[in-house]
Structure 1
Amino acid sequence: MSPLQTLRTLLFYVLLASSACIWCTVSFFVAPFLPFRARYRFVVRNWCRSAVWLTKTIVGIRYEIKGLENIPERPCVILAKHQSTWETFFLSGFFEPLSQVLKRELLYVPFFGWAMAMLKPIAIDRSNPKAALKQMASVGAERIKQGAWILVFPEGTRVPFGQIGKFSRGGTALAVNANLPVLPIAHNAGAFWPKNGWAKYPGTIQVVIGAPMYAETTGPRAIAELNDRAFAWVERTQREIGALEDGAVPLDIAAL
């Protein structure tokens, strides 16, 4: 990374951290008095979009989207590739309102966690997978009834660029039980915002939104089959955009 890009990255982190502290503090006092949809726009959408704007303006990371026509009118379960923090910002600002499946510990983070707690996330205990699956099913169904998109990173954690993790079935189970499709999303954000380290590299992220996928039947087999289809599409698309190494084997790292 060049000296100039290093300075840009440092400036980016200073601005991002400062805006997070200020915005989350303001939201902590304002958001409780707003209905859920307005609260989401005030707390999440505006700040996440500003984070994406800072990423583009300060460190030169832009993005292109393909497949906008595939987004259904009715909210459903989003199954997205997870490589960096960028896609969390982008997806949270793009779909609204959105309820994200996240680890419970994040709610204890000062400012950020306090604000997130007011946005009806699906906060799970990753140390207890069985209980987490039940919680995802019950709370997720409630969020869907409230008109929220459900964001699931089925790999369970961020996976380094060029690799892919096996998909858990929690997201597809939620979709099948709610009689909704899953919306698969692939991207190559990890090439410019790596999982490890603080470096940021200028370039254009490719975001590809696939067609909604429906289960053909019901029950455990339908969940497994839909999950396999979603994984196959993401794996194939990751290869097409150059974000998956040749011969890469799916890693068994999913939390659920």
Structure 2
Amino acid sequence: MASDKGAYLLMLTAIRSLAFTLVFYSGSLFFVLAALLLGSFSTEAVLRIGTGWSRFHRLCAHWLLGQKVKVVGDLPLGPYLYIVKHESMFETIDMLCLFDRPAVVAKRELLDIPLWGRVAQRYGLIPIERSGGASAMRVLRAAARDANAQGRAVCVFPEGTRVPHGEAPPLKAGFAGLYVLLGLPVVPIAIDSGRVSPRGKFLKRSGTITYKVGEIVPTGLDRREAETRVHAAINALNPPSALLQ
């Protein structure tokens, strides 16, 4: 009986995952084409379409995958640098739901995606060269300050790539540099999306994806102290043993 139930749940998960893939990606093409068509006339239109795409993604995750979203803690809005744990594709897209038109820092290779890359650039994605060194940091600093001046949240995934749930790798060196260069207080945010939508896996399970907002890290701290606080906060939803890695 237990094996029959397990097989049934696996089949249900596979059907849900397939439905999500078909509906979300085909629907995404509509949003991309709309943004390409209207983007030549209005940046505002691209921002609105981007927000609509993110909401569409969350609806698909909810109704097709059975995934709900919960935010624990108060999410402050204002001139902050938002540092977010990165476990799956989910939060990459969901940032546009969590914040109002955020400027998300992401690897430059994403701009090479046909059609989507052009829209992402128009939207205001902040690309970063992983091996760009000081010059890349200067470009990132200027783009982040410009976004902040426009009242847009600046969101960074400091681990550099998606990591499996339960793992807590060191933050990339770029975080400390950005913390000092921007001079903004930091809002660290943990997420456990990897439990239900693991990196590189087709099967996505139902469940609740939780964002946990940590204490604000003020400006002016020693780099090591700021990094230690942020690292602990963004891994708050991981097992305690993960922080020992």
Provide the TM-score with structure 2 as the length reference.
0.88
Q: Where do 1:1-256 residues align within 5 Å?
A: 2-36=10-44, 39-40=46-47, 42-67=48-73, 69=74, 71-217=75-221, 222-235=222-235, 237-238=236-237, 243-244=238-239, 246=241, 249-250=244-245
For the 8 Å contact 1:31–1:43, the answer to whether it is kept is no
1:165 deviates by: 1.6
Report what 1:254 is aligned to: none
Q: 1:56 to 1:142 in 2, by over 3 A?
A: same
- Percent of aligned positions that are identical: 27
Q: Any idea what SS the aligned residue of 2:154 has?
A: strand
Distance 1:86 1:173 in 2: 27
Residues 107 and 114 in structure 1, CA contact (< 8 A), matched pair in contact too: yes
User: Alignment partner of 1:28: what SS?
Assistant: helix
**Separation in 2 of the partners of 1:124 and 1:234?**
21
Distance 1:50 1:104 in 2: 25
Change (3 A) 1:73 1:100: closer
- Give me the whole-angstrom Cα distance separating, in 1, the residues matched to 2:30 and 2:10: 30
Distance 1:245-1:163 versus aligned 2 partners, 3 A rule: farther
- How far off is 1:65 after superposition? 1.0
Secondary structure at 1:184's aligned position in 2? strand
Unaligned runs of 5+ in 1: 251-256
8 A contact 1:136–1:170 mirrored in 2 = no
TM-score of the superposed pair, with normalisation by structure 1: 0.85
Contact 2:57–2:93 (Cα < 8 Å) also in 1: yes
Counterpart AA for 2:185: P
Deviations 1:1-52 (A, max 9, x none): 611221111011011110111110111111232244x532x22111111101
Give me the whole-angstrom Cα distance separating, in 2, the residues matched to 1:114 and 1:95: 22
What CA distance in whole angstroms lies between the structure 1 residues aligned with 2:202 and 2:140?
Answer: 31
Paired AA for residue 47 in structure 1? W
One-letter code of the match for 2:22?
A: V
Residue 6 of structure 2 aligns with which residue? Answer: none
Aligned length: 237
- Separation of aligned partners in 1, 2:46 and 2:176: 28
Shift of 1:146: 1.9
Shift of 1:248: 5.8
C-alpha RMSD over aligned residues = 2.0
The Cα shift of 1:245 comes to 6.3
3-state SS of 2:138 partner: helix
* 8 Å CA contact retained: 1:102, 1:122: yes
DSSP 3-state at the match of 1:57: helix
In structure 2, list runs of 5 or more residues that go unmatched.
Answer: 1-8
Cα pair distance change 1:33/1:171, threshold 3 Å = farther
The amino acid of 2:82's aligned partner reads I
Conserved 8 A contact 2:166-2:242: no
- Per-residue CA deviation, residues 33-91 of structure 1 (Å, 9 max, x unaligned), is 2244x532x22111111101101100111121111x2x333142110100001111222
